Amino acid sequence: MGKTKTSIECVAKASLRNVRLSPRKARLVVDLIRGKGLDDALDILEYSDKKTAPLLRKLVLSAAANAKDRSGMSADELVVKAIWVDEGKKLKRSLPRAQGRATPIRKRSSSINLVLDEAV
């Protein structure tokens, strides 16, 4: 059997939960940094115009700090091994329409998980 996302061997992890951002929009930015070195990932996020970029930058820095505290590794040796976005809770609202009807509105949120490992 293959490894699941939760059983990945790693140096450090970080997660960001219940971010008021749709998973589809978050995955656009997450796909840019998957597999990149830590410095490259931070540079990409620094110059990205998406709403997700500053949140992900903070998450990457948090995971790097976790790696430094946990195993004493420097940022030069770290790489984004795995990063994925899951759907979080939905805020359910409704929009009034004609003739007394209502249309549902689903305000989506995301849960972002990041795993750093040493470069091979």
Instruction: Give residue-wise pLDDT tens across range 50-93.
Output: 999 999 999 999 999 999 888 777 778 899 999 999 999 999 99
The two structure tokens encoding residue 66? 């976790």
- Specify the CATH number of the domain 11-118: 3.90.470.10
Distance CA 13, CA 88 (A): 19
Domain range list for the chain: 11-118
What's the full length of the chain, in residues? 120
Distance CA 41, CA 109 (A): 23
The two structure tokens encoding residue 60? 């990457």
What does the pLDDT read at residue 74? 77
pTM: 0.84
Distance CA 61, CA 12 (A): 11
Query: What backbone phi and psi angles, to 5 degrees, belong to 72?
Result: 70, 25
